[in-house]
Amino acid sequence: MALKIDQDHARFRHIVRGRIRENLRQFISKGELLGRKGKDMVSIPVPQIDIPRFRFGSRDAGGVSQGDGDVGDPLGDGQERPGSGKAGQGEGQHSLEVEVSVDELADVLGEELELPAIKPKGEARIDEDAERYTGIRRVGPESLRHFRRTYREALKRQIISGTFDVERPVILPTPVDKRFRAWKATSAPVANAVILYMMDVSGSMGDEQKQIVRMTSFWLDAWLGRHYKGLESRFIIHDSSAREVDRETFFRTKESGGTMISSAYKLCKSIIENEYPPDEWNIYPFHFSDGDNWSMDDTLACVDLLRQSLIPWSNMFAYGQVESPYGSGQFVKDLRGHFKGDDKVVLSEIPNKDAIVQSIKDFLGKGR
């Protein structure tokens, strides 16, 4: 049953969204949300929302209670109580846990980073924005006037005010009686997409680097997932050779040894060839590395692969270079040289966690 409170609840969610937006950059760079993700919901701590009033500072107030204990005994373990502030900091800093759907979070991300909506490619794209007349309201253009409802209101008013004459049932609607159809625009994603995450797991990629990749991928998933009906993610790790793994392994694996980036691109290519025909799928390869490739020859092989197959097939190709103390960071320079002016290729350098926001913006800022 629909509850009447739903509307108020929706307004509250709206305010919460505003709060999340205010604190979004912090959430992104602290990675606080990673552990809070359920299936479709993320639980987010937002600062307590309150209506200010003239009231007593709670610190000096204290109160009366009953029970055992001697004078001077502290009460409990300093846990939060109604009317008590936390010691040593501003009062009223309780935070509120709210659950937000991943889609909603993606919307907030989009608003805050001013990301353009993604335009899916391919024939399968049907008109996404549907306007549906879902309700009735009191104001609106004449062309949307709801005749029957208006009539009914006028009838009601006339009966109540005693001006309704059964012998001569003339109903005269006044402006307050008018009812209009109200519409709502809904957008439903229709196309499919796949994200192919590739990551360098050679010895030079440390835990912190992987954490950065993980935090970035959380938001990429959320944003792309918002725009496609079904979003699949595939994970490829590579050192000198590449293999496909699941999400958990992807972020956990640590190998040593060299780096042959082309091996990952080759695997990526074969996955696309076998499973994701490019004219039906929106394809997003994301590659993260510290930019230390085995040899110049291998880099050239990579460029070749990209130019021949990966880039033409994909909506965009993104390469994120995570700074590490061991990597030379050469690879991004090579790519930059080879793909100058190709706006399907997005390159971003992520020196630290604070830069994640910017690189998300780089990756998703093109609206592809």
Interaction site with another protein (CB under 8 A): 1, 3-5, 7-15, 49, 51-78, 81-82, 84, 87-88, 90-92, 96-98, 137-139
Full DSSP string of 153-167 = HHHHHHHHHT---SS
Cβ neighbors of 261 (< 8 A, separation 6 or more) are: 200, 238, 287, 289, 293, 294, 298, 299, 302, 331
Q: How many C-beta neighbours within 10 Å does residue 104 have?
A: 20
CB of 272 to another protein, least distance (A): 44
Nearer to another protein, 72 or 341 (CB): 72
CB of 93 to another protein, least distance (A): 11
Nearer to another protein, 75 or 188 (CB): 75
Q: How many C-beta neighbours within 10 Å does residue 304 have?
A: 13
The answer to whether 233 and 195 are in contact (CB under 8 A) is yes
Longest dimension (CA), the chain: 98
Going by their DSSP bridges, the two strands 281-289 and 242-245 should be labelled as unpaired
In a 3-state reduction of DSSP, which class is residue 79?
coil
Full DSSP string of 320-362 = EEE--SS---HHHHHHHHHTTT-TTEEEEEE-SGGGHHHHHHH
Nearer to another protein, 9 or 125 (CB): 9
CB of 67 to another protein, least distance (A): 5
CB of 171 to another protein, least distance (A): 22
Nearer to another protein, 54 or 160 (CB): 54
Nearer to another protein, 108 or 118 (CB): 108
Q: Rounded to 5 degrees, what angle do the CA atoms 231, 236, 238 make?
A: 160
Nearer to another protein, 16 or 115 (CB): 16
Nearer to another protein, 179 or 210 (CB): 179
CB of 6 to another protein, least distance (A): 8
What is the rounded CA–CA span in Å between residue 3 and residue 11?
Answer: 14
CB of 145 to another protein, least distance (A): 15
CB of 148 to another protein, least distance (A): 19
